[in-house]
C-alpha cells in the first residue's frame, strides 16, 4: 500500500526545460529553496490542470511559449513543516532566449552540473537523471528531517488510480 503522501494531488508544477545537454535553471530569490537552483514552475490555480499550470508558469517565468510538456511523474514529500506534492514535467525549449524573472535568475546549466552541484535543490540529484533521461513517469517520494535534509527517498510506480489524462498531464 502506498502511503497517503505518495498519492496526494499535486498543488504545484515543476518543469525542466532542455536544450541539447543543457537545462534551464532558476536561482531562487524566494522561499522555498531560496538561494538554490531549481527548475521553473509554481502553484496550480483553481480550475487549472497541472499541464496548463506548467505551460503558464513557463511562460510567466521565462517568456517561452510552450505548446506541450511531457508529464514526468509526481514529486511528493513529508517534512516537519508541511507535506505536499507537485507534478513534474520536461520540455525541449523552443529557444534559449529567456526574459528576466521576478522569482530569480535564469541560466542554462550543463546536465551533469544540475545532477551534482551542491547549489542545486538536493532532491534533483535523486530524481533528475531519471526524469531528464526520459524514464517512465512515477512517484518520487522524499522524507525530510527537522533541518530540511533528506532522510529517505523512494521511487514507486504511479498509483493505479492515477490517470495522466484526468490530471491534464499530457496533451
Q: How confident is the model at residue 169 (pLDDT cuts 50, 70, 90)?
A: very low
**Which CATH superfamily does the domain covering 4-161 fall into?**
Nucleoside Triphosphate Pyrophosphohydrolase (3.90.79.10)
**100 half-sphere exposure, CB direction, 13 A CA radius:** 2
Domains of the chain, by residue range, sit at 4-161
pLDDT at 2: 39
Cell numbers for 141, please give them: 517520494
Report the SS3 class of residue 161. Answer: coil
pLDDT of res. 130: 98
What is d(CA 112, CA 91) in angstroms, rounded to the nearest whole number? Answer: 18
* DSSP, res 80: S
Mean pLDDT of 87-99: 97
Contact indicator for 93, 109 with CB cutoff of 8 Å:
no
125 φ, ψ to 5°? Answer: -60, -30
Predicted confidence (pLDDT) at residue 3 exceeds the cutoff of 70: no
More confident residue, 5 or 76: 76
Q: What is the largest CA-CA distance in the chain?
A: 45
Q: What pLDDT is attached to residue 65?
A: 97
DSSP 8-class letter at 121: -
Alpha carbon of 13 to those of 2, 113, 124, 147: distances in Å? 21, 22, 14, 24
Cα angle, residue 13 at apex, residues 59 and 24 outer, rounded to 5°: 55
Mean pLDDT of 161-166: 66
Percent of the chain with pLDDT over 90: 83
- Check whether 35 has a pLDDT greater than 70: yes
Mean pLDDT (whole number) for 113-136: 97
Parallel/antiparallel/unpaired status of strands 70-78 and 138-144: parallel
Q: Tell me the pLDDT band of 170, cut-offs 50, 70 and 90.
A: very low
Amino acid at each position: 500500500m502506498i502511503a497517503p503522501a505518495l498519492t496526494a494531488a499535486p498543488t504545484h508544477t515543476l518543469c525542466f526545460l532542455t536544450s541539447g545537454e543543457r537545462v534551464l535553471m532558476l536561482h531562487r530569490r524566494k522561499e522555498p529553496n531560496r538561494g538554490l537552483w531549481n527548475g521553473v514552475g509554481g502553484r496550480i490555480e483553481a480550475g487549472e490542470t497541472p499541464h496548463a499550470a506548467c505551460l503558464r508558469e513557463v511562460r510567466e517565468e521565462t517568456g517561452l511559449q510552450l505548446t506541450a510538456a511531457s508529464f514526468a511523474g509526481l514529486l511528493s514529500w513529508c517534512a516537519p513543516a508541511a507535506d505536499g506534492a507537485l507534478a513534474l514535467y520536461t520540455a525541449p525549449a523552443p529557444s534559449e532566449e529567456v526574459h528576466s524573472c521576478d522569482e530569480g535568475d535564469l541560466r542554462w546549466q550543463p546536465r551533469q552540473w544540475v545532477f551534482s552541484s551542491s547549489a542545486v535543490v538536493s532532491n534533483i540529484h535523486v530524481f533528475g537523471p531519471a526524469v531528464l533521461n526520459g524514464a517512465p513517469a512515477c512517484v518520487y517520494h522524499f522524507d525530510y528531517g527537522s533541518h530540511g535534509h533528506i532522510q529517505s527517498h523512494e521511487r514507486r510506480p504511479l498509483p493505479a488510480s492515477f490517470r495522466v489524462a484526468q490530471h491534464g498531464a499530457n496533451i
